């Protein structure tokens, strides 16, 4: 089993590691991040192990998305944030640290000091068309 036996999120799902759970159902578990970006920062994980967005089934991903929606509503009602970020990272290059698919639900308040994950600049039409052509060629 390797991955699953050592996976901290699998241990949390199984109840073998502690977590501050806020919501769960037969498909997913949502709990507070122990290193929060802001108060109320939650993680939503599927009960079944999948390393990343490339490995999770569409059905399991749908369950995570539904739980993310429910968690965001709970955080809004409980903490009254001005906004919320929902993020996911797949792979070390994207900043993934725990290799069990998970989404972050991060409450935001005006004036907080959190930074966006990237700074953007407008791409040229030629660049956009080139990338589009490459993507649709593999559909």
For the chain, what is the radius of gyration of the CA atoms? 17
Place of tokens 């930074």: 115
Give yes or no: 102 in active site: yes
Bridging pattern class, strands 103-108 and 42-46 = antiparallel
Q: Alpha-carbon distance 136 to 139, whole Å?
A: 5
From 63, 100, 102, 104, active-site residue: 102
| DSSP E strand boundaries for the chain | 21-24, 28-32, 42-46, 83-87, 103-108
Give dist(CA 137, CA 120) in Å, integer: 26
Nearest Cα to Cα of residue 49 among 100, 97, 106? 100
| C-beta neighbour count of 88 within 10 angstroms | 17
Kindly list the catalytic residues. 102
């Amino acid at each position: 089993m390797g991955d699953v036996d050592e996976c901290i999120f699998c241990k949390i799902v199984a109840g073998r590691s502690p977590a501050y759970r806020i919501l769960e159902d037969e498909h997913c578990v949502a709990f507070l991040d122990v290193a929060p970006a802001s108060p109320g920062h939650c993680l939503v994980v599927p009960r079944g192990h999948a390393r990343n967005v490339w490995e999770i089934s569409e059905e399991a991903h749908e369950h995570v998305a539904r739980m993310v929606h429910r968690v965001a509503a709970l955080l809004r009602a409980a903490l009254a944030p001005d906004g919320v970020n929902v993020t996911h990272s797949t792979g070390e290059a994207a900043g993934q640290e725990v290799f069990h698919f998970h989404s972050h639900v991060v409450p935001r308040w005006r004036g907080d000091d959190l930074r966006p994950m990237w700074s953007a600049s407008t791409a040229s039409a030629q660049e956009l068309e080139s990338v589009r052509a490459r993507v649709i060629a593999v559909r």
